[in-house]
Amino acid sequence: MAIFKGAGVAIITPFHEDGSVDYEGFGRLIEFQIANQTDAIIVCGTTGESSTLTHEEHLDVIRYCIEKVNHRIPVIAGTGSNCTQTAVYLSREAEKLGADGLLLVTPYYNKATQKGLYQHFKTVADSVKIPVLLYNIPGRTGVTMNPETVAKLCTEVENIVGVKDATGNIAQVAHLMQLAKGKVDLYSGEDGIIVPLLSLGGSGVISVLSNIAPKETHEICSRFFEGDAAGSCELQLKALPLVDALFCEVNPIPVKKAAELMGICGSTLRMPLTEVEPEHAAVLEREMKAFGLI
């Protein structure tokens, strides 16, 4: 049974201008998500700037999200690290806090072998009882988890149930699903190719777009699952210009600006991320208007 089916939001972490976590803004964003049919919240992932949160902040943000959501939809906590023992610690603590599942990114910078990746993920998953999603994003981590490794982990480790795939490699994903034989819950990690991954047997998307367009992203998935592939594709194509604008600079720089334009929370980032360039902000605002968000 999948942790969730549909559009889960890779939620941003709002900050005050002094860099502290803006829990009031975070609460507004969570309520906006639930009111607009988000199917799950993925907290403290890449989009949530987890790499610049202290361990204490990381767990406080997870705790706040779980308590605010209060079992209305699943909450999946990002607890991955390039240090296996750190990932074990964060994962155990998130489980204690009541997370419905975990998202574990491939270890970055270390560039582990496929054997090392297998042992890393198995060690972390064995330390908890809740379900685990792997996160394959070579563009940020510098390492690709091969389809064989993903399939082996989902087959051999009971609580590793699926993968968020942000490789952008459709052929590789197809190979994974051929190997998986129904044992891998697949989520698109890229908003521009939700429908192609659903067509390969995907369970949904873990989405940046959902931060500002949760209802529309949910509908891309729900229409597909209801048998309206043409309608789903139409919505996917309509969203592409906005998706492109949301990735005109490194994520989450543009999406934080978008949330500010919608009046949900501020656009403050933690260094080394910096404010979106004015020309990119103008493009983003134009596409948000065209999409009917502002």
Who contacts 238 (Cβ-Cβ below 8 Å, separation ≥6)? 291
Q: Are 259 and 29 in contact (CB under 8 A)?
A: yes
Question: Cβ of 58: how many Cβ atoms within 10 Å?
Answer: 24
Backbone angles phi, psi at 10, to 5 degrees: -80, 90
Give the domain ranges of the chain: 6-228
Q: What is the pLDDT of residue 128?
A: 98
The yes-or-no answer on residue 115 being catalytic is: no
77 bridge partner residues: 43, 102
Q: What is the pLDDT of residue 113?
A: 98
pTM above threshold 0.75? yes
Distance of alpha carbon 189 from alpha carbon 69, whole angstroms: 23
Q: What is the pLDDT of residue 121?
A: 98
Which of 135, 187, 256, 257 is labelled catalytic? 135
Q: What is the pLDDT of residue 282?
A: 98
The yes-or-no answer on residue 164 being catalytic is: yes
Q: What is the pLDDT of residue 60?
A: 98
Q: What is the pLDDT of residue 197?
A: 98
In this predicted model, what pLDDT tens digit does every residue of 69-121 receive, in sequence order?
999 999 999 999 999 999 999 999 999 999 999 999 999 999 999 999 999 99
Radius of gyration of the chain (CA): 18
Question: Cβ of 176: how many Cβ atoms within 10 Å?
Answer: 26
Q: What is the pLDDT of residue 275?
A: 97
HSE value, Cβ hemisphere, 13 Å, CA-based, for 35: 7
Tokens, residue 53: 């949160």
Note if the bond before 254 is cis, omega within 30 degrees.
no
Below-50 pLDDT ranges, the chain: none
Q: What is the pLDDT of residue 289?
A: 98
Which of 164, 187, 256, 257 is labelled catalytic? 164
CATH number 3.90.1150.10 given to 6-228: no
Distance of alpha carbon 291 from alpha carbon 285, whole angstroms: 10
In this predicted model, what pLDDT tens digit does every residue of 108-133 receive, in sequence order?
999 999 999 999 999 999 999 999 99
Q: Is 228 exposed, middle or buried (0-12, 13-18, 19+ CB in 10 A)?
A: middle
102 bridge partner residues: 77, 132
